[in-house]
Amino acid sequence: MARKNYLFTSESVSEGHPDKVCDRVSDSIVDLFMAGDPQSRVAVETLATTNRLVLAGEVRGPVTHDAMVEAAREAVRAIGYEQDGFSWKTVNIDCYVHEQSADIAMGVDAAGNKDEGAGDQGIMFGYACRETDVLMPAPIHFSHAILKSMADARHAEANSPFGPDAKSQVTLQYENGRPVRATSVVVSTQHAGHLDQKEVRELVRPHVLKVLPEGWMCPEDEFYVNPTGRFVIGGPDGDAGLTGRKIIVDTYGGAAPHGGGAFSGKDPTKVDRSAAYACRYLAKNVVAAGLAEKCTIQVSYAIGISKPLSVYVETHGTGQVDEDKLSAVLQEMVNLSPRGIREHLKLNRPIYARSAAYGHFGRAPEADGGFSWERTDLADALKRAF
């Protein structure tokens, strides 16, 4: 039986965190390829350290090394890094990206009677629940929102006291399975050198109060801001970063399983990305349709094979319908082959750089197709099916 009363914690990191800098750069390169040719293949990793970026990976499409380097530089500028140890103007960028392996291409590409295959083997999960209006777990939702609020303030102010690098962590008290209050909040943020810890604390406080529901603020002695005391040196100058190291931040904050594959830097033939989006889409529509309070969906694939090897649906004892029938209906509504997912969610577009920070899920669908996996357009059909 599921526990009813407990504490649960999730964390987020800002767009200026070293790993998120790398995710943003890698996804900016995916967007560059998708804009040039929607059928491009991209698998690009980024490493960041003091005033240096290194790009590596495999691609197929009409984009030069010079264009990739400029896209990386622009991503650093957009984040807001113009510091002595890491600046968009002076960062050295090495590009070691090369052509996609012919052996991988043979397995993935459609040919003759063979449909497009999965870009890799793996398992992917999606999840949705009723804890927030965006059907996301509350701890990760609030953790993201605090940092997004701080980032918006930083971008709006020419001489902001906040630097680009920041982390948050929110612990919530659950009673009868529902979140009711925060018991602790942690925020660490890069800041201007003239500020002391108390001043930074008061600058952070309104962003936390704005995000948490009224009356949910943690006790004062459980509100931790820059616990080390000082955070002036940050970003890749303070710590190296790599693409794909924040996969729990990217998804459900640990409240649901994760298959292990990162999203950023990958075109949508890679099921690590596209199938995880499809699972979230289906789970969210199940909950939006009122068929369950919580829903987890898992799919699995083999490289080069188009059909999923398994589709698993779990409603955690909250379901209003038979789970086997629900699984069958979902598969009738959405073709879960790599091609079917890409076409249904229209993923072959330059929509990925915006997803690199503050979570891939729980975001609002956008007019140009960004976050299409957050739509709830299947909910009415699901209601009718049951």
* Residues 228-245: tens digit of each pLDDT: 999 999 999 999 999 999
Per the domain annotation, does 380 fall within a domain?
yes
Q: What is the pLDDT of residues 25-76, one digit of tens each?
A: 999 999 999 999 999 999 999 999 999 999 999 999 999 999 999 999 999 9
Q: What is the mean pLDDT of residues 6-17?
A: 98
Q: What is the per-residue pLDDT for 350?
A: 98
Per the domain annotation, does 181 fall within a domain?
yes
Domain shared by 280 and 370, yes or no: yes
Q: Are 43 and 267 in contact (CB under 8 A)?
A: yes
Residue 144 known to be catalytic: no
| CA–CA separation, 87 and 82 (whole Å) | 4
Domain that holds residue 157: 6-12+138-234
Give one word for 309, left, alpha or beta, with left for phi > 0 and alpha for psi -120 to 50. Answer: alpha
45 labelled ligand-binding: yes
| CA–CA separation, 239 and 237 (whole Å) | 6
Q: Which of 24, 41, 167, 360 is catalytic?
A: 167
110 labelled ligand-binding: no
Per the domain annotation, does 249 fall within a domain?
no
| CA–CA separation, 68 and 155 (whole Å) | 25
**Averaged pLDDT score across all residues of the chain:** 95
Residue 245 known to be catalytic: yes
Indicate the residue among 234, 255, 277 that finishes a domain.
234
165 labelled ligand-binding: yes
Domain shared by 271 and 307, yes or no: yes
| CA–CA separation, 267 and 261 (whole Å) | 13
Per the domain annotation, does 379 fall within a domain?
yes
Domain shared by 219 and 320, yes or no: no
Per the domain annotation, does 239 fall within a domain?
no
Q: Which amino acid is at 232?
A: V
Element (H, E) at 154: helix 138-156
Domain shared by 273 and 380, yes or no: yes
Q: Which of 60, 246, 273, 360 is catalytic?
A: 246
Domain shared by 277 and 378, yes or no: yes
Domain shared by 48 and 147, yes or no: no
Percent over 70 (pLDDT), the chain: 96
Residue 217: which pLDDT band, with cuts at 50, 70 and 90?
Answer: very high
Q: Are 96 and 70 in contact (CB under 8 A)?
A: no
Domain shared by 268 and 229, yes or no: no
298 labelled ligand-binding: no
Q: What is the CATH number of the domain that holds 355?
A: 3.30.300.10
Domain shared by 178 and 323, yes or no: no
Domain shared by 219 and 271, yes or no: no
**pTM for the whole thing?**
0.95
User: Is the pLDDT reported for residue 110 higher than 60?
Assistant: no
Per the domain annotation, does 381 fall within a domain?
yes
Indicate the residue among 213, 234, 255 that finishes a domain.
234
Q: Are 130 and 291 in contact (CB under 8 A)?
A: no
Q: Which of 24, 191, 245, 284 is catalytic?
A: 245
| CA–CA separation, 340 and 48 (whole Å) | 35
Structural domains in the chain (count):
3
Hey, how many other C-beta atoms are within 10 angstroms of the C-beta on 59? Answer: 21
245 labelled ligand-binding: yes
Q: What is the per-residue pLDDT for 94?
A: 98
DSSP code at position 354? G
Beta strands in the chain (DSSP E): 6-13, 41-49, 52-60, 82-83, 86-87, 92-99, 122-129, 162-175, 178-191, 223-225, 241-242, 294-301, 310-314
